[in-house]
Structure 1
């Protein structure tokens, strides 16, 4: 009986390695690693002490009617990019047991809702970007070497993988704007953007030092256009441009910061997911994208989701519907508007 059990364990491990290698052979890149906030959280916050968790109805209604912890009715931007790369959707790091993490070689999701670039940005417990990178460090030093016996092979695998970061909005919503309200003093948006970008650059450098070379970095979208912040009157709805103008310096300076990093970090290559540009494009002609409502939350005050979810830009107070995520991901992957200077297909072929 003991010999049979040993044989069965060896068989399963061999099968897992075979399937993993087979999957990698069919994919465009070896793996997708995801860092960020609620825009791409795949369920890490389910395991944390926070009110920022969505593992209950009405979230996930279009994800096999399963509330996985994604802040949407269905798949996130990162999920869709993974599938288009021929990879499985990266699982939430905290949702995988410590004894199973080494088996995952197609990418992991470390993103955490309500966190930001800065360690001081949070609403309850969450994984700061530093903490996410700490977990990725464990992946690279403890888990992946069990699949890549030679350092050269591991380095090649990491250099061909894609690293997606979607983070920064909370540094304004839960930090910058919150401080303004508490102190009743207007901070300098240019200086705050410079500080954020400096911090982001240092954290990207840590991922680079661990082996990352190909990066997709999300700009911060028009926060003032989210349902919870728009200006509403009895006859009109429009973005809160005061908020948008204060966030704009970050997105304006992001390309220059990434160009600087690309010069400093040999072999690195960056593309930007331009959330502001895509929103403007949708706002100018929503019907072209199938939207009938770009201002309101699909989920009502009674927590009941709208029936025509594909016609809504926003699912809740600030998170996009799967329909929006699909439009942005498809365009970023092979189009010319959402991502620049390269789309993801071009990023895959680079170097």
Structure 2
């Protein structure tokens, strides 16, 4: 065990040094902490008892041809944002041995496939948002203090880091659509109320900079492209998110929020796919047991479950980081550089 610990520590330090050297620039923020579902999972589900895993080929075919547990052919949205922030990829919390978690200071990924905002949203074993926040609490209370000399430096680290939270799709596909015991508007209100409450918990731990997104157009997927009845039932959560975000920013002193309007941005791609480089936005590139498309850059969807290709994810990440059509009221780049003057005083 001792030799394994030494090997892991050396490997992790080399990993951090590699990315620091590749990026070559000082990171814009101290860290990127990631919460979400399969869209952001970087391998947490590999360590859980569930069939909802992406740890076999050809998943990861464009990630050094290694299936890491990411539900796509390459990098996730969180990975691209980390690159743009000049940070290493946030490692999956369950993929880092407990004895080495104190070494991780540039962000952690708590996202888990087939889970959601609500605790009863799940397929197999997964990390609900509550569980993800429980692990983040451990990071803040147990792991990070080992790295910082005093509480002020720890507070600075937490407050200047970015918190990416994109979750909610499974609360529809694995929960609401199984029962539909509420009107769509009522369920959206309930779901976002729960999300807001959990964001407040993260805020109470010191977080201040948030990027928040919820369900996309679930009616548009390889299995049912495009079921507008489903889309209409999901749309209220997208429509109401900006109002919830505005209320949170008023309630939570010193906080800054960016909301991701992926529901409406998808219409831009859907209405002009060639403009974004796609020749196919209905069929999956990878059809399990059948085939793998010849050009993954031309496909919007990666698999039959509606996970998208790296090519599509890259478009969303670029637009949310530096554009003005997906993320509001500012992009992530502006969020990262907000309050820089104050940060130098701390």
What is the TM-score normalised by the length of structure 1? 0.89
Q: Contact (CA 8 Å) 1:299, 1:315: kept in 2 or not?
A: yes
- Which 5+ residue runs of structure 2 have no aligned equivalent? 340-346
Name the residue aligned to 2:166.
166
Show CA shifts across 1:231-276 (max 9, x none). Answer: xxxxxxxx10100000111111101111111111101111011111
Deviation for aligned residue 1:338: 1.5
Show CA shifts across 1:169-206 (max 9, x none). Answer: 000000000114xxxxx630111001001100010001
- Which 5+ residue runs of structure 1 have no aligned equivalent? 181-185, 231-238
Q: Larger deviation: 114-123 or 341-350? A: 341-350
Deviation for aligned residue 1:58: 1.5
Name the residue aligned to 1:345.
333
Show CA shifts across 1:59-114 (max 9, x none). Answer: 11111100000000000001100011000110100000001110010000000000
Name the residue aligned to 1:176.
176
Q: Contact (CA 8 Å) 1:37, 1:111: kept in 2 or not?
A: yes
Name the residue aligned to 1:260.
247
In the TM superposition, 1:73-84 aligns within 5 A as 73-84=73-84
Q: Contact (CA 8 Å) 1:58, 1:303: kept in 2 or not?
A: no
Does residue 277 (structure 1) correspond to residue 272 (structure 2)? The answer is no
- Take 1:198 and 1:277, find their aligned partners in 2: how far apart are those partners? 21
- Take 1:125 and 1:35, find their aligned partners in 2: how far apart are those partners? 16
Residues 85 and 240 of structure 1, relative CA distance in 2, 3 Å threshold: same
- Take 2:331 and 2:120, find their aligned partners in 1: how far apart are those partners? 33
In the TM superposition, 1:134-283 aligns within 5 A as 134-180=134-180, 187-230=182-225, 239-283=226-270
Deviation for aligned residue 1:219: 3.1
Q: Contact (CA 8 Å) 2:25, 2:86: kept in 1 or not?
A: no
Q: Contact (CA 8 Å) 1:87, 1:106: kept in 2 or not?
A: yes
Query: Which residue, 291, 314, 333 being the options, matches 2:278?
Result: 291
Does residue 320 (structure 1) correspond to residue 308 (structure 2)? The answer is yes
- Take 1:282 and 1:324, find their aligned partners in 2: how far apart are those partners? 9
Pair member with larger Rg = 1
Q: Contact (CA 8 Å) 1:315, 1:321: kept in 2 or not?
A: yes
- Take 1:25 and 1:326, find their aligned partners in 2: how far apart are those partners? 21
Question: How many pairs were matched up?
Answer: 328
- Take 1:52 and 1:148, find their aligned partners in 2: how far apart are those partners? 37
- Take 1:37 and 1:144, find their aligned partners in 2: how far apart are those partners? 24
Deviation for aligned residue 1:25: 7.4
Deviation for aligned residue 1:227: 1.1
Q: Contact (CA 8 Å) 1:217, 1:273: kept in 2 or not?
A: yes
Q: Contact (CA 8 Å) 1:294, 1:313: kept in 2 or not?
A: yes
Q: Contact (CA 8 Å) 2:235, 2:263: kept in 1 or not?
A: no
Name the residue aligned to 2:324.
336
Once superposed, what is the RMSD of the aligned Cα atoms? Answer: 2.2
